[in-house]
Structure 1
Amino acid sequence: MWASVIGILGNIQDDATTSDNRGMARGLIDRMNDYEFVFALHLMKYLLGITNDLSLVLQQRDQNIVQAMSLIDTMKSQLQDFREEGWQIILDEVNNFCELNMIPVIDMEDSIAIRGNARRSRRGQTITNFHHYRVEIFCEVVDLIIQEMNNRFSEVSTELLSCIACLDPKSSFSQFNVQKLLRLADLYPEDFSSNDYLYLESQLRNYIYNVQRDPQFSEVGDLGSLAQQMVKTGKNTVFPLVYRLIQLALVLPVATASVERVFSAMNIVKTDLRNKMGDEWMNDCLVVYIEKDIFATIENEQILQRFQRMKTRRMQLPHLRYSSATTTNTSSVNQ
């Protein structure tokens, strides 16, 4: 693929009709044949490979908190191990790649002028290539990602996820831990009163004893299905405090990736022509837009009839034929 990209850029340089395009293609070729560019490319490829699985899990509509918790710990450990032991791996890969593609390989012991500091550069101060690539690029980039992960997933956030993971119903509630769930209630003081906290421990023990022996919960695989099954069997009223913990656990994923999707949809729904849209009307429009896959299955005839029955109106809305209703419904949802 590398050779193909270089070849295409070479063709653009030879066949371009303007000097600007020729110069741009020539500059890209020169940049790609630079050792520092290849080093940065391999470094980012390796780092994105470490973080990719966690990124995909966090972007899923139905997030698995237990899986995300496991990937967070794994990724932090991988990044730290890569910082301590990955330098030689990256260096060997970059050197091999440069040799295969006839890119000059630099000597790590050679000296270069200090970059980014005009005063020190004028004084003729130098550093080795090893310092530049190992300290100023490799360690600095890896440390930046590690620091960002620690800020995003702090000890409090990690503890919260760890407590929520105890509610996971997989493998017959094997992750269930009463003490961690009591700690989860501590993190939400506004949702649990002092009296609630007194009854919570005994209710947790009764709950786990009950659901582990109930065949209706043997096939439940995630928190969303667990909440639905509790409502279906009426256990949400038998164990209200436990059900409240499950509700709080289900809110957490909504507060991350799903909210970002809502803000993206808001820019589409609330345009300059709709800048006076009220909160209730905007909320209804966002629900329809975000859940358009569900609304695409509802015929316009059903919507018209429901709207007609909401209150007495001066005239009856016309009935739609099935074919036109389906066509209109699909086009309106896609818009």
Structure 2
Amino acid sequence: MKGEINGLKTLIMKDSPSAYYIHCFAHQLQLTLVAIAKKHLDVEDFFDHVSNVLNVVGGSFKRRDLLRDHQAKKLEQLFESGEVKKGQGLHRERGLQRPGDTRWGSHFKTLDSFIVIFSSIVDILEVIELEGSTSSDRNQAEYLLTKIKTFKFIFVLHLMLKVLAMSNELSMILQKKDQDIVNAMEFLNITKKRLQDMRENGWESLLDDVSSFCDVHDILIPKLDESYFPGKSKRKSSGVSYEHHLCVEVFFVVIDVQLQELNDRFDVVSSDLLLGMGSLNPVNSFSNFDKGKIMTLAKCYPSEFDDGKIRDLSYQLDTFIIHMRSGNPKFSNLQGIRDLAKALVEENLAETYSLVYLLVKLTLILPVATATVERAFSSMKHIKNEVRNSIGNQYLNDCLVYYIERDAFINVSNDVIIDRFQNMKTRRGQL
């Protein structure tokens, strides 16, 4: 049901149009970046080069030590020149985190570090080019130097960093175990607005940043009004200027694909369902209550809510929210929609607010996969690896529970565990 082919989902929706399913939004945001990389050759090549640089520079402890030494020397030079000031917690050592499609935010951190320690990366590659143990290592370092010390590579580096920076907060909020749906939808809209604003007004500032970076690192800046020649051949001109290629064929296309993917994957129906669910959430005395969003949610179920019931629901919601906020202790400290459904039944209000209760039940049976579900599948790769490839199902389940919920288990002391085993049966010795 994930990716571009939603076969099972399509079959179910044909049989029951109101059988909605909302896939993990954090996973959808992950697919957005992957789609960009696959749909644009320059971006795909860029990430390939970044990955290769990480493999070469971080390929051994010796090279990682060299990277740290170069950073320390560079920082000391900046201290001596007065360009930076010393201070507690400032100028921490930066490493290169390998980007992963299932760890959202990792691409952003990788590119951010890549820019900060770019000069150290170049120094390490130059050392490998001259002193590499094999000709293959030396040739690879030379090849990567020719790729990363180009205006186009630096341009895509800054472009992708800006794009990922705009979606970074959204990525973080979508990966929370307890998602704040209303805030997530607000961050989604903010991200799309920022991307659109960047498309319309961000070209000049991006070009200035790239040019300044190239000046600092002695990278040749081409004449943007000259003809662009794709590939290595200088005989076949593309018929457009270098600036046109970067602006129209790279800058605009990357942002347009990003916006299109966000609009397609976070479609209107899914957003309406989630916002409606968030508006029904009773936490903090229904602080997110929004009658309009709840009415939109009801309209997603035309077989349950015809025009007459929609009008009745509107009147019922007006009374319902006043009742819920009247100070009744039964409704003051509810922690979720499930608690709301239970409280309505216990207080004999399920029939009084029959349409609201129906909507609450529909919300409860709506399958929403969160990032926690995605983490469970990713965690299996860490637990069931080549060393433990024949692990039993029960033991695998126990290990996964501990690994996935490690934030909760970290509060369990060793003494509690020892006492539990001690009390399971009579033992000769004390554990």
Give the alignment's TM-score, normalised by structure 1. Answer: 0.73
Q: Mark the CA change 1:248 to 1:91 in structure 2 (over 3 Å): closer, same or farther.
A: farther
Determine the C-alpha separation between the residues in 2 that align with 1:28 and 1:203: 66
What does residue 48 of structure 1 align with? 164
SS at match of 1:111: coil
Residues 132 and 236 from structure 1, CA distance in 2 versus in 1: closer, same or farther, beyond 3 angstroms? farther
Match among 379, 382, 390 for residue 273 of structure 1: 390
Q: Deviations over 1:186-244 (max 9, x none)?
A: 32468x57798787555533331122222758986xxx824476478x34534446466
Q: Which residue of structure 1 lines up, in the alignment, with residue 69 of structure 2? A: none
TM-align CA RMSD: 4.0
8 Å contact kept, 1:10–1:25:
yes
Aligned counterparts of 2:250 and 2:378: Cα–Cα separation in 1: 34
| Residues 198/112 of structure 1: CA separation in 2 closer, same or farther (3 Å cut) | closer
Query: For residues 251 and 80 of structure 1, what CA distance do their matches in structure 2 show?
Result: 36
On the 8 A contact 2:229/2:236 being kept in 1, the answer is no
**Cα separation, 2, equivalents of 1:252 and 1:286:** 26
> Is this contact kept in 2: 1:227–1:243, CA < 8 A?
no
1:98 and 2:214 are equivalent in the alignment? yes
Aligned to 1:78: 194
Which amino acid counterpart does residue 109 of structure 1 have in structure 2? D
Q: In structure 2, how many angstroms separate the alpha carbons of the residues matched to 1:231 and 1:252?
A: 14
Q: Secondary structure at the match of 1:61?
A: coil
Alignment counterpart, residue 205 of structure 2, candidates 80, 89, 94:
89
Flag the 1:93–1:215 CA change in 2: closer, same or farther, 3 A: farther
Q: Does 1:59 align with 2:178?
A: no
Q: Quote the residue 2:319 is aligned against.
A: 206
Q: Hey, what does 1:36 align to over in structure 2?
A: 152
Q: Residue 312 of structure 1 aligns with which residue?
A: none
Larger RCO, structure (CA 8 Å, separation 6 or more): 2
State how many pairs are aligned.
302
Q: 2:239 aligns with which of 119, 126, 137?
A: 126
Deviation at 1:148, TM superposition (A): 0.8
What residue number does 2:42 align with? none
CA shift for structure 1 position 174: 4.8
**Residue 184 of structure 1 aligns to which amino acid in structure 2?**
L
1:173 is matched by which residue type in structure 2? F
Cα drift, residue 84 of structure 1 = 1.1
CA gap of 1:16–1:274, structure 2 versus 1, over 3 A, is closer
2:280 is equivalent to residue 167 of structure 1 = yes
Deviation at 1:108, TM superposition (A): 1.0
Structure 1: distance between partners of 2:159 and 2:428:
60
**C-alpha contact 2:341 2:360 (8 A) present in aligned 1:** no
Question: What code does the residue aligned with 2:324 have?
Answer: V
Normalised TM-score (structure 2): 0.58
1:147 matched to 2:260? The reply is: yes
Residues in 1 aligned to 2:365 and 2:371: alpha-carbon distance in whole angstroms = 12
The verdict on how the C-alpha distance between 1:300 and 1:236 changes in structure 2, with shifts beyond 3 A counting, is farther
Give the equivalent residue in structure 1 for 2:76: none
Q: For the structure 1 residues 292 and 17, does the alpha-carbon distance in structure 2 shift closer, same or farther, using more than 3 Å as the test? A: closer
Residue by residue over 1:173-193, the C-alpha shift from the partner in whole angstroms, topping out at 9 and shown as x without a partner, is 354233432331332468x57
**Counterpart amino acid of 2:390?**
L
Greater alpha carbon shift after TM alignment, 179-188 vs 196-205: 196-205
What amino acid is aligned across from residue 268 of structure 2 in structure 1? E
Once residues 345 and 336 of structure 2 are traced to their aligned partners in structure 1, the CA distance between those partners, rounded to angstroms, is 10
Does the C-alpha gap of structure 1 residues 235 and 219 become closer, same or farther in structure 2, counting only changes over 3 Å? closer
Deviation at 1:164, TM superposition (A): 2.7
Quote the Cα distance in structure 1 between the aligned partners of 2:237 and 2:389.
56
Amino acid at match of 1:206: T
- Distance in 1 between residues matched to 2:422 and 2:341, nearest whole Å: 31
1:6 aligns with 2:119: no
Determine the structure 2 residue equivalent to 1:26.
142
Return the letter of the residue paired with 2:298.
A
The C-alpha deviation readout for 1:116-158, integer Å capped at 9, x for no partner, is 9x9xx98655321012101111111111111110111112222
Please, which of 304, 307, 318 is the counterpart of residue 425 of structure 2? 318
Q: Is the 8 A contact 2:298 2:359 kept in 1?
A: yes
The change in CA–CA distance for 1:98 and 1:293 in structure 2 (over 3 A counts) is closer
Computing the radius of gyration from Cα coordinates, the structure with the larger value is: 1
Distance 1:38 1:217, change over 3 A: farther
- Alpha-carbon contact 2:331-2:340 (below 8 Å) kept: no
Give the C-alpha shift of residue 86 in structure 1: 1.0
- The match for 1:256 is 370
User: Offset at 1:71?
Assistant: 0.3
Ranges in structure 2 where 5+ consecutive residues have no aligned partner: 1-116
Q: Distance in 2 between the 1:322 and 1:201 partners? A: 69
Instruction: For 1:22 and 1:44, locate their aligned partners in 2 and report how far apart those are by CA, in whole Å.
Output: 29
2:269 alignment partner AA = V
Residue identity opposite 2:144 in structure 1: L
Give the 3 Å change call, closer, same or farther, for CA 231–81 of structure 1 in structure 2. same
Pick closer, same or farther for the CA change 1:179–1:29 going to 2, 3 Å: closer
- CA distance in 1: counterparts of 2:309 and 2:422, whole angstroms: 46
Distance 1:171 1:227, change over 3 A: closer
CA distance in 2, matches of 1:89, 1:170: 43
| Contact residue 170 and residue 187 of structure 2 kept, 8 A | yes
CA distance in structure 1 between the partners assigned to 2:331 and 2:212 by the alignment: 53
Unaligned runs of 5+ in 1: 306-316, 325-335
Aligned residues of 2:282 and 2:340 also touching (Cα < 8 A) = no
What amino acid sits opposite 1:176 in the alignment?
A: F
CA distance in structure 2 between the aligned counterparts of 1:15 and 1:35, rounded to whole angstroms: 27
CA contact (8 A) 2:151 2:214 kept: yes
